[in-house]
Chains A and B, each alone.
Chain A
Amino acid sequence: KAGVTQTPRYLIKTRGQQVTLSCSPISGHRSVSWYQQTPGQGLQFLFEYFSETQRNKGNFPGRFSGRQFSNSRSEMNVSTLELGDSALYLCASSLGGLPYEKLFFGSGTQLSVL
């Protein structure tokens, strides 16, 4: 069974640009959540989707947005990139039926903003 797939693995952008990251969950998983990981900050919750609906959202500015498609694949978009957006963005999937399921993580997308 394939794991959670995130693309691209690495991304370099400049300030002001926008970026779209993609996540394909494990087959059968309907919940996808996104986390930002920076040194010293740990993982910060961005948002969670289940069956194309956002069920929760973290404390990030509106420049961060996401969506989920009918096949459960998800994308997150960051507009008007800032230097502080440089981070590892992790996607996690779960079956989604219960709010305390274990998460399966992808290897992440390392975003560098210059």
Chain B
Amino acid sequence: AQKVTQAQTEISVVEKEDVTLDCVYETRDTTYYLFWYKQPPSGELVFLIRRNSFDEQNEISGRYSWNFQKSTSSFNFTITASQVVDSAVYFCALTTSGTYKYIFGTGTRLKVLA
């Protein structure tokens, strides 16, 4: 069975603080892909990043960074120096080759307070 767990339901931070959103996944497939999406209040999910199971290199994009660790089945997302515009619900997702189906976690609502 495939599963994505985002244990943090809601996180509140003060602007400029760093925050890490956790994602733990389960799959028996050796080839899989992990994603992070952001859902602002408008409702439209926006793609942030994709990682395949063969690439454990961490990635940094501006204030965003991702830590992929196969040993712990985790794909965590860190926002450095958070801003109010980062307030949104963030989803982690998993898909495996050939299924055309994405398994989403329950999401983490991030509130960045000014």
Contacts and interface: CB of A to CB of B under 8 A. Distances in A.
Given A107-B42, A108-B43, A40 B106 contact: yes
Interface string A11-41: 0000000000000000000010101000011
B75 interface: no
B106 A107 contact: no
Contacts, number: 64
Looking at chain A's contact residues, is the secondary structure mostly helix, strand, loop, or mixed? strand
B101 A48 contact: yes
Interface stretch (B13-21, B55-63, B92-100): B92-100
Interface in B40-60: 42-47, 50, 52
A41 B103 CA distance: 11
Interface residues of B, number: 27
Interface residues of A, number: 27
Contacts of B6: 42
Contacts of A88: 43
A105 B45 contact: yes
B50 A56 contact: no
B104 A99 contact: no
A45 B44 contact: no
A102 interface: yes
Nearest to A105: B45
A10 B54 CA distance: 42
Contact of B35 (A3, A56, A102): A102
Given A56-B101, A107-B44, 12 more contacts: A43-B91, A43-B93, A44-B104, A48-B100, A56-B99, A90-B45, A99-B97, A99-B100, A100-B50, A104-B47, A107-B43, A108-B43
Nearest 4 interchain pairs by C-beta:
A42-B106, A43-B104, A100-B33, A105-B45
Interface of B: 6, 33, 35, 37, 42-47, 50, 52, 91, 93, 95-107
19 contacts: A42-B104, A42-B105, A42-B106, A43-B102, A45-B101, A45-B102, A48-B101, A55-B100, A90-B43, A90-B45, A99-B99, A99-B100, A100-B95, A100-B97, A102-B47, A105-B37, A105-B46, A107-B42, A107-B43
